[in-house]
Amino acid sequence: MAMAAPTGSAALCGHLALLLLLLLAAPAALGYSFPQQHTMQYWARRLEQEIDGVMRIFGGVQQLRGIYNENRNLFEVKENVPRKLVEKVAGDIESLLAKKVRALKRLANAAEKFQKAHHWQDNIREEDIEYYDSKADTEYVSTDDPDGEEIEREKSNSLKLEFTDDANFKTKVNYSYAAVQIPTDIYKGSTVILNELNWTQALEDVFIENRKEDPSLLWQVFGSATGVTRYYPATPWRAPNKIDLYDVRRRPWYIQGASSPKDMVIIVDVSGSVSGLTLKLMKTSVYEMLDTLSDDDYVNVASFNEKAKPVSCFKHLVQANIRNKKVFKEDVQGMVAKGTTDYKAGFEYAFDQLQNSNITRANCNKMIMMFTDGGEDRVQDVFEKYNWPNKTVRVFTFSVGQHNYDVTPLQWMACANKGYYFEIPSIGAIRINTQEYLDVLGRPMVLAGNRAKQVQWTNVYQDALGLGLVVTGTLPVFNLTEDSSDRKNQLILGVMGIDVALNDIKKLTPRYNLGANGYVFAIDLNGYVLLHPNLQPQIINFREPVTLDFLDAELEDENKEEIRRSMIDGNDGQRFIKTLIKSLDEQYIDEVFRTYTWAPIKSTNYSLGLVLPPYSTYYIQANLSDQILQVKYFEYLLPNSFESEGHVFIAPREYCKDLDLSDNNTEFLENFIALMEKVTPDSKQCDNFLLHNLILDTGITQQLVERVWKDQDLNTYSLLAVFAATDGGITRVFPNKAADDWEEEPEPFNASFYRRSLDNKGYIFKPPYRDAGYRGLDLENNTIGILVSTAVELSIGGKTLKPAVVGVKLDLEAWAEKFKVLASNRTDRDQLGTRRCDPSSSCEMDCEANNKDLICVLIDDGGFLVLSNQEDHWYQVGKFFSEVDANLMSALYNNSFYARKESYDFQSVCAPEAQSNTGAAPRGVFVPTVADLLNLAWWTSAAAWSLFQQFLYGLTYSSWFQTEDVTADSMEARETSCIMKQTQYYFSTVNATYNAIIDCGNCSRLFHAQRLANTNLLFVVADKPLCSQCESVKLLQAEVRAPPRDPNQCELVDRPRYRKGPHICFDYNATEDTSDCGRGASFAPSLGVLLSLQLLLLYSSASRHPLPPAACL
């Protein structure tokens, strides 16, 4: 452990103890002593003076200030007024969404009218319906055959359309037609589906009219309760590599629009009779049931036999968010069947859960979902005690597996409690029967009529057709037909949706006038971000919503919790706070000041916020009315000026509509120059603010070259380059050849050195980042540079702003030698080697003469090595110092030089974890005999249809084709979303200078650490370790995959974050007809489809699991 040097009355004893330890630990010769504190403070001052001198000469901060003041007539200083900005942007977003709402209401009203006027046709045929089947162009279903053989799909009589590329949709579309998508597991030739296709065809005209009124409309979609999706404009379906099991009824936007929030308790019978295939069916059913829940819902899952117990660590209802559902899904797999069935235990547990009012929950629809293989007990006494006569809790029962039990009690339970009874004889029945309960929940909404027609806006999610991140406005569509008794129909027809791309919302927000560290964000009622610079999901998974909480997008603290709560409550406000932020490269933590301003976006579920640092209250707006000056400054962007004026990188911004963007900055500059030869900076197709500021900064940085950089010899001070970067988007690097090794982002706002320099005073050192595995091969061929940068602060008319950052790039090897000299006892007059300690003269060790015994390093505020007197450390510059000297870094941390911040990245991508595979033969799949294949009756039997469904879902649930101990989401390995744990270190404010002992008996070490003024550096001098018997636990800084259950969801759910659900609940209507309460049928299959898919099953099973040669005999 590290022990601090005593102070106060015990100082003398402490110093004597340190001196004694030093003499014991000193390297052999008695003439050497560890440098005293005043000596190291002297070295520190020399280092500070050298750094400051170089930056004053080459950085040109004062000169650049003067240049800005001299050019005062070329720009205005504008003010960002946070409340006005927020009000304007919120109003613009409200107007954008209001246009979509009008189109949405027209569609919903038209759909209800078309369906009411439609006449049901019992004898309708496929050839009677004309529509574009979006999956018809996908002519095959991929198999896992390594030879790439393909199985043809059944022929379709779909319309043949032509498509053209459309930049708005990022794909090919046809504006004259809508497209239809039908889930693969639904038979599209059924009477229900054909009638659905018939009446929804009339929606195409409304789609087209909507687009004429608002050409910016994106996908207009009707999701039917039957599973049919009709969307406009038409485009081929983006089918996955495997069988397409997309079902609109499982999309987040459909679930939100089709019912009010839910409090759900799932109870699973795990008595001894439930085993083998039936237990598998139940586990998968629970898995699918969880996927019908959204973040507005709350859920718990329990298993029961003689007693009931939760399957997970959750002791009460928890929010049905992705992470909680993942815990349930993992723990459900561990359920084991044993004991006897006691329905009473299961239902009492469920009712107790729903009656617990001391927790956060949905407080709307309440329901119990029971999965069982059957039983005789009706537990009427439980319902009388908990649920009758009001019947506030709906009961849904599921008879699972193929058995001969009497299902009458299960039907009675559902019918007696306003629920529904379903049968799940095989895996193929799971998806349909675990989502149709939504029709029952939709009844009160339909009966409520116009009161329930509330437009809701969803969380952010990935669009299934490739638009990227979107939000969707939803509106339920009701069946307005009446029966012969003039009773209103109570079925929901589906949900109408209109997408809005997040990029379209972002275009309404200010960006460049806010500076590099200012930004706009927005959150919903769950606290999830709709807009935020840190909203960057790394994986495309349209099955899951993108749910990044505001407190996970930023580093959480009490102030931000209060801001988040106020925004969710729909309030407006403003607060100036001190908070921690991560650097853009996620290596550093900075303590900064920020002003948060927020206000609700009216008529939506969203709230908008603006974050501004103090130095971004004002910004520069160039006014280059002098066209001659425009041309003069523009010439400094031309490559032929780079040799004399330094290389210019321009930020890849959308300066003009016709400008072709490119990731290659040289190519982008060429595109920019070519366009500027055709248009002027004042052209209407260009952003005048961006262009004028860019050209102004080109001229200002060129003047810096003329006045400062050209007159200096960089080699004299061992500099590889000097540079300046500006808010206007210019990065000028001098000399031109230095641009070859320039690795920073050409967009200053995306460059970590730029953003950190604005937030920190003084000189910010940035070594090249090296991970733990780096071995220094670059040193053999390249010169390594260390960036040192500082912000240029202007004060114009009492208005303070920071429009630029300047800096130098140090030559690592040359400055390492200079560092040794500056931290030595040699004076300027001393010649190298003339002043050394030896056995005959008692003197202090220094970093140059005694580098074999003394370690001297400069470490930055993130704990990364910047400079060292040890040559074998040079290739480790840029590494976290614990990788270099774990013992010393631990001592620095334990003595409070560094604080640590741990957080989680919920948007990462990881390779799939290795799965065990202990058997080659598939289990759980029935393979028919030859006699079965020859028997026509078998093909039309329930067994055959079940087998077809097994095949479809077997491709989704791989465990059906693998051994018991294998579970995976797909038959092929691919990247998956995961949680990464991040750790950053930063300077604590406790100590500026420190002496301490790393106490380890005979292996003890003395060290001294001191902050260098006006920098982000820590100067550390320490004994070299004498032995390796005192190894410390290595501090970790690298991002790592979070272990299972980290963060601990079991603890987090007991401290739920504040949220609000929708403000209206429709869970009861006195006129509801509950007589329709149970069935087990599904759509009848096509014999042709069944036959071809059965053959495909046999083929794919055989290709994945070939039989041994002996078996083939």
pLDDT, tens digit, for every residue of 768-821? 988 776 766 544 556 789 999 999 999 999 999 999 999 999 999 999 999 999
Residue 260 has pLDDT above 60, yes or no: yes
Q: What is the pTM of this model?
A: 0.87
- State whether the Cα torsion 849-854-860-866 is positive or negative: positive
Mean pLDDT is lowest, of 733-747, 981-995, 1047-1061, for: 981-995
Residue tagged 């006195």 (tokens)? 1070
Percent with pLDDT over 70 in the chain: 82
Rounded CA-CA distance 138/152 in Å is 9
The SS3 of residue 329 is helix
Rounded CA-CA distance 945/948 in Å is 5
Rounded CA-CA distance 727/740 in Å is 23
Write down how long the chain is: 1113
Provide the token pair at 425. 């004889």
Mean pLDDT is lowest, of 25-39, 268-282, 660-674, 697-711, for: 25-39
Contact 110, 206 (CB under 8 A): yes
Which H helix or E strand runs over 935? none
DSSP label of 56: I
Contact 806, 787 (CB under 8 A): no
pLDDT, mean over the chain: 85
List of residues 6+ apart from 1030 with CB closer than 8 A: 887, 998, 1000, 1001, 1003, 1004
Residue 987 has pLDDT above 70, yes or no: yes
Mean pLDDT, residues 510-516: 96
Contact 174, 233 (CB under 8 A): yes
Residue type, 50: E
Q: What single string gives the DSSP state of each residue in 217-267?
A: ---EEEEETTS-EEEESB------SS-----GGGSHHHHHHHS--EEEEEE
Q: What single string gives the DSSP state of each residue in 514-580?
A: G-TT-EEEEE-TTSBEEE-TT----S--TTSB---BHHHHS---HHHHHHHHHHHTT--EEEEEEEE
pLDDT, tens digit, for every residue of 145-181? 444 444 444 456 789 999 999 999 989 999 999 999 9
Q: Rounded to the nearest 5°, which phi and psi values hold at 98?
A: -65, -40
Rg (CA), the chain: 35
Rounded CA-CA distance 525/256 in Å is 13
pLDDT, tens digit, for every residue of 401-440? 988 888 999 999 999 999 999 999 998 899 889 999 999 9
How confident is the model at residue 830, as a pLDDT? 52
CA dihedral 620, 621, 622, 623 (to 10 degrees): -140
Residue tagged 């733990």 (tokens)? 772
Rounded CA-CA distance 719/954 in Å is 63
Residue 362 has pLDDT above 70, yes or no: yes
Residue 372 has pLDDT above 70, yes or no: yes
pLDDT, tens digit, for every residue of 996-1037? 777 776 677 899 999 999 999 999 999 887 776 566 778 999
How confident is the model at residue 138, as a pLDDT? 66
Q: Rounded to the nearest 5°, which phi and psi values hold at 283?
A: -60, -45
Give bridge partners of residue 723 from the DSSP assignment: 733, 807
Mean pLDDT, residues 33-61: 93
Mean pLDDT is lowest, of 105-109, 726-730, 904-908, for: 904-908
DSSP label of 1038: S
How confident is the model at residue 94, as a pLDDT? 97
Mean pLDDT, residues 187-191: 91
Residue 531 has pLDDT above 60, yes or no: yes
- Distance of CA 191 to CAs 32, 120, 130, 196, 935, Å? 97, 9, 15, 8, 27
Rounded to the nearest 10 degrees, what angle do helices 688-707 and 61-70 cross at? 130
Selection from 619, 617, 613, 573 nearest residue 595 by Cα: 613
Residue 302 has pLDDT above 50, yes or no: yes
- Higher-confidence residue of 24 and 505: namely 505
List of residues 6+ apart from 533 with CB closer than 8 A: 519, 521
Give bridge partners of residue 656 from the DSSP assignment: 686
Provide the token pair at 294. 């959204």
DSSP label of 768: P
pLDDT, tens digit, for every residue of 933-968? 334 443 444 344 445 545 554 544 444 433 333 333
The SS3 of residue 210 is helix
Instruction: Answer left, alpha or beta for residue 7, where phi above 0 means left and psi between -120 and 50 means alpha.
Output: beta
Rounded CA-CA distance 559/579 in Å is 8
How confident is the model at residue 7, as a pLDDT? 39
Residue tagged 């020399």 (tokens)? 46
Provide the token pair at 987. 């300077």
Chain centroid offset of residue 1064 CA: 30
- On the CB side of 764, how many CA atoms lie within 13 Å of its CA? 21
Residue type, 101: V
Contact 200, 111 (CB under 8 A): yes
Rounded CA-CA distance 878/812 in Å is 11
Contact 338, 272 (CB under 8 A): yes
Mean pLDDT, residues 26-32: 49
Q: In what order do the strands lie in the sheet with 764-766?
A: 647-650, 730-734, 719-726, 799-811, 785-796, 764-766
Give bridge partners of residue 393 from the DSSP assignment: 366
Residue type, 951: F
Provide the token pair at 951. 């095949």
Selection from 503, 506, 502, 497 nearest residue 473 by Cα: 497
**70 burial type by CB count under 10 A (0-12 exposed, 13-18 middle, 19+ buried):** exposed
How confident is the model at residue 26, as a pLDDT? 44
